[in-house]
Amino acid sequence: MLKRIAVKDLCLGMFVAELCDSWMEHPFSKTQFLLNDEKDRDSICASGIKEVWIDTAKGIDEVSPSTQTISDINQETENVLLRAANAQKATPPTIEAELKQATEICNRAKEAVKLMFTHARMGKAIEVTQVQVMVEEISDSVSRQPHAFISFARLKDNDEYTYMHSVAVCALMIVLARQLSLNDSMVREAGLAGLLHDLGKMGIANKILNKPGKLTDKEFNTIKAHPEIGANLLLGNTLVSALVLDVVLHHHEKMDGSGYPHGLNGDNISLFAKMGAVCDVYDAITSNRPYKKGWPPAESIRKMAEWSKGHFDEMVFQSFVKAVGIYPTGSLVRLESGRLGVVLEQNENSLLMPNVKVFYSAKLNTPIVQEIVNLSLMMGTDKIVGREMPEDWGFRNLDALWMEN
């Protein structure tokens, strides 16, 4: 008769029929044997294996509170499988539910990045461990509701752009890494790369970084030095991997070789650097800068699609669009019914049918009663027919609509 017992209940004279968790490494060349040596018992206990099956027909039997018969185990296993079969798919929290936490994490991350950049300006060592903690918090928020964090991080003032840009790119890198099905370790590396990618800008004078007008050729060449400055600041830091360092150095490379600092092209650019290029550009063009107002999210995606050939890796860009949406959260869209609305949440089954909060009639040119429309349930009676520019309609605070959802 087969019984499963705890390793602590093993006795000499028992016949071991199977070591549970058999995929783990263990010191035995076979998994069935008569236990007649105390050293073998100690080896099993030290291996990390918690339970074993014994065959009472081939060795001694000892009844203990932890003993389970094979019928007990079969029933227990069947119950686990039944629970899995009946489990409901976890529903992610709404943007409203996650927004408060995302805001708090975003603000803490901004302060951590600001401190890190200040240390870099002063020539002090970069405390990578502290920013790794922020990467974990950002990753947790993105896991719960990705669009809350990345949409909030897009909203930044001119004077905090450099810091919040790093926070936003961190979140976008995490979202993109998950879309690309990278493992958890690589997701964390991607997030850290995003947080550190612009560290070299601390070697650039603020009067150039924050210049409200067009940069001169000399000033632009100064800006273009920031990837190498950042890489040099991190070189030798044992907590910064080669993957992260590569993003810091090469997030401005382009597929056609026209990027900088090394003019890499195609397959000579790493996957992480290709990811960094897409995430960096998206946050940059959706953000208000000293010299330019940011484009709306949907318009930014359209612009990036225009530039994608020669600039971005096609597979990486397509994955990014799947992650943030063709009409990202915060986009102003026109429906076939003539209503205008702001995109709230994405539909994982179709990028063309997000949830939209309608609030204005383009036909009547007047506000209407606000309503949340799930386009996937409209059965073809309404759909998005185009993106709109908020300034064309005089909408000055569109973000308040999706944030108050």
Structure tokens at 204: 């650039």
Q: How far apart are CA 376 and CA 395, in angstroms?
A: 26
When pLDDT is cut at 50, 70 and 90, the band that residue 23 belongs to is very low
Instruction: Say whether pLDDT at 236 is over 80.
Output: yes
Burial class (CB in 10 A: 0-12, 13-18, 19+), 212: exposed
Structure tokens at 381: 């009676």
The string of pLDDT tens digits covering residues 160-201 is: 888 899 999 999 999 999 999 999 999 999 999 999 999 999
Instruction: Say whether pLDDT at 276 is over 60.
Output: yes
Quote the pLDDT of residue 85: 57
Q: What is the mean pLDDT of the chain?
A: 85
When pLDDT is cut at 50, 70 and 90, the band that residue 45 belongs to is confident
The string of pLDDT tens digits covering residues 51-62 is: 888 888 888 886
Other Cβ atoms less than 10 A from the Cβ of 221: the count is 11
Instruction: Say whether pLDDT at 279 is over 50.
Output: yes
Could you tell me the pTM of the whole model? 0.74
Strands 51-55 and 332-335: unpaired
- 27 upstream amide cis, omega within 30 of 0: no
Q: Dihedrals φ, ψ of 215, to 5°?
A: -80, 145
Q: How far apart are CA 49 and CA 42, in angstroms?
A: 11
Of 253-262, 298-307, 391-400, the range with the highest mean pLDDT is 253-262
Quote the pLDDT of residue 223: 92
The string of pLDDT tens digits covering residues 337-361 is: 999 999 988 887 888 899 999 999 9
The stretch 373-382 carries a mean pLDDT of: 85
Instruction: Delimit the domains of the chain by residue range.
Output: 2-86, 95-324, 332-403
Instruction: Say whether pLDDT at 239 is over 70.
Output: yes
Quote the pLDDT of residue 347: 83
The string of pLDDT tens digits covering residues 292-314 is: 788 899 999 998 998 888 899 99
- SS3 per residue for the chain: CEEEEEHHHCCCCCEEEEECCCCCCCCCCCCCEECCCHHHHHHHHHCCCCEEEEECCCCCCCCCCCCEEHHHHHHHHHHHHHHHHHCCCCCCCCHHHHHHHHHHHHHHHHHHHHHHHHHHHCCCCCCHHHHHHHHHHHHHHHHHCHHHHHHHHHCCCHHHHHHHHHHHHHHHHHHHHHHCCCCHHHHHHHHHHHHHCCHHHHHCCHHHHCCCCCCCHHHHHHHCCHHHHHHHHHCCCCCCCHHHHHHHHHCCCCCCCCCCCCCCCHHHCCHHHHHHHHHHHHHHHHCCECCECCCCHHHHHHHHHHHHHHHCCHHHHHHHHHHHCCCCCCCEEEECCCEEEEEEEEECCEEEEEEEEEEEECCCCEEEEEEEEEHHHCCCCCCEEEECCHHHHCCCCCHHHHHCC
The stretch 205-210 carries a mean pLDDT of: 86
Nearest to 328 by CA among 208, 152, 87: 152
The string of pLDDT tens digits covering residues 242-257 is: 999 999 999 999 999 9
Q: How far apart are CA 367 and CA 346, in angstroms?
A: 24
Q: How far apart are CA 344 and CA 405, in angstroms?
A: 8
Instruction: Say whether pLDDT at 20 is over 80.
Output: no
The string of pLDDT tens digits covering residues 104-154 is: 888 898 888 888 888 888 888 888 888 888 999 999 988 888 888 888 888
Quote the pLDDT of residue 66: 52
For residues 190 and 162, the answer to whether their CB atoms sit within 8 Å is: no
End-to-end CA distance of the chain: 61
When pLDDT is cut at 50, 70 and 90, the band that residue 363 belongs to is very high
Q: How far apart are CA 259 and CA 147, in angstroms?
A: 29
Please give the order of strands across the beta sheet that includes 33-34. Answer: 33-34, 15-19, 51-55, 2-6, 68-69
Query: Options 3.40.50.2020, 1.10.3210.10, 3.40.605.10, 3.20.20.60; which CATH number does 95-324 get?
Result: 1.10.3210.10
Instruction: Say whether pLDDT at 87 is over 70.
Output: no
- Whole-angstrom CA distances from 79 to 2, 53, 327, 400 are 20, 20, 43, 47
Of 314-318, 373-377, 392-396, the range with the highest mean pLDDT is 314-318
Nearest to 179 by CA among 331, 344, 321: 321
